[in-house]
Amino acid sequence: MTHAFKVAVLGASGLVGRTMLQILEQRRFPVSELVPLASPRSAGRKVTFAGREYTVKAVSKEAFEGVDLALFSAGGGPSRQWAPVAAAAGALVVDNSSAFRMDPDVPLCVPEVNLEQARRPPKGIVANPNCSTIQLLVALAPLHREIPIRRIVVSSYQAVSGAGSRASECLVAQRRALAADEVPEPGAIGAVLEGDLLMQWTPDPVTGYQEEELKLIHESRKILGMPELMVSPTCVRVPVDTGHAEAVCVEFEAPMTPERARALLKAAPGVEVIDDLPAGVYPKPSMAAGRDPVLVGRIREDLGLAGGICLYVVADNLRKGAALNAIQIAESLLLS
């Protein structure tokens, strides 16, 4: 009989937390006891798992007693406070926030790319990368193994659900207002997204980049073990509910052909190639929503750089970009 685990989910009532519960159930992760947790403000809410309704409890030290696996998706502050507590209690912590991603003693893991780095986490914590980084590297790692990458140019078009449930609700309200010929409110998004494109992440005054863009740079370097990797990112928020898209151009140490890239991607775990542009077939967020694979299409020669490759990468940011990747880490470390 497969060993079952006591699992805590911090942030259980949020978008990613609820998706974690869904995926745990869908993948039949062996849960002997579920402990749904949240901040005191969100405690008392109800969540459903495996046909049973649970009341979310306020996070506390006592809540992690006997927990084998702690999945965190409650933001950087709660993670910094409670992840060490959960790890000290003996839990494997998989943290979806940015709190520990650049900590040299905390592995930053995409299972299809660098699972071995997470096998023995020194602090008992494994960090989940940012959503845009995860899908980018699932698509590029098979190519990088064939011919090392020299430079990545990536523009991301990111769904509003990546900003949380309040932002998703705000976009719905903006749509309703515009449909009624009313003036939409910026709300939790901070500006009117419906009918527009935004760049609303925290700017870095030194580099001129946004925080989201810097994550793509630093996280890609850490995961691939390439501290000097050249990454040129631009991140844009789009009025799409779920599903991030990325336009990517890659320079390699030696020429890569589209034919070879397509063959490598078709054989890669976690990737689905959808690539027939003449027939109007290419990845779209609507194709990725609610699904696990990273969709890759528009695989073509970079006409601006001989030997380079351009491609288009789409994934469900709540699943592979967050909850699924975290649970795959847990499965790999606890079940295999």
For 247-295, write each residue's pLDDT tens digit. Answer: 999 999 999 999 999 999 999 999 999 999 999 999 999 999 999 999 9
Across the chain, what does the average pLDDT equal?
Answer: 97
pLDDT band of 1, cuts 50, 70, 90? very low
Assess whether pLDDT exceeds 90 at residue 305: yes
Fold classification of 5-129+322-334 is Rossmann fold (3.40.50)
Q: Would you state the pLDDT for residue 336?
A: 83
Residues paired with 37 in a beta bridge: 10, 57
Domain residue extents for the chain: 5-129+322-334, 133-317
Cite the active site residues.
131, 244
295 neighbors 248 (Cβ within 8 angstroms): no
Q: For the residues 138-143, what does the mean pLDDT come to? A: 98
Q: For the residues 134-138, what does the mean pLDDT come to? A: 98
CATH classification for the domain delimited by 133-317, as one of 3.20.140.10, 3.40.140.10, 3.30.360.10, 3.40.50.300: 3.30.360.10
Quick: pLDDT tens for 42-82.
999 999 999 999 999 999 999 999 999 999 999 999 999 99
Q: Would you state the pLDDT for residue 2?
A: 66
Assess whether pLDDT exceeds 70 at residue 327: yes
Residues paired with 154 in a beta bridge: 233, 248
What is the number of other CB atoms lying within 10 angstroms of the CB of residue 39? 16
Give the pTM.
Answer: 0.96
Can you read off the two tokens belonging to residue 161? Answer: 């659900």
Quick: pLDDT tens for 207-233.
999 999 999 999 999 999 999 999 999
Can you read off the two tokens belonging to residue 48? Answer: 């459903």
Q: Report residue 27: phi and psi, to 5°.
A: -90, 0
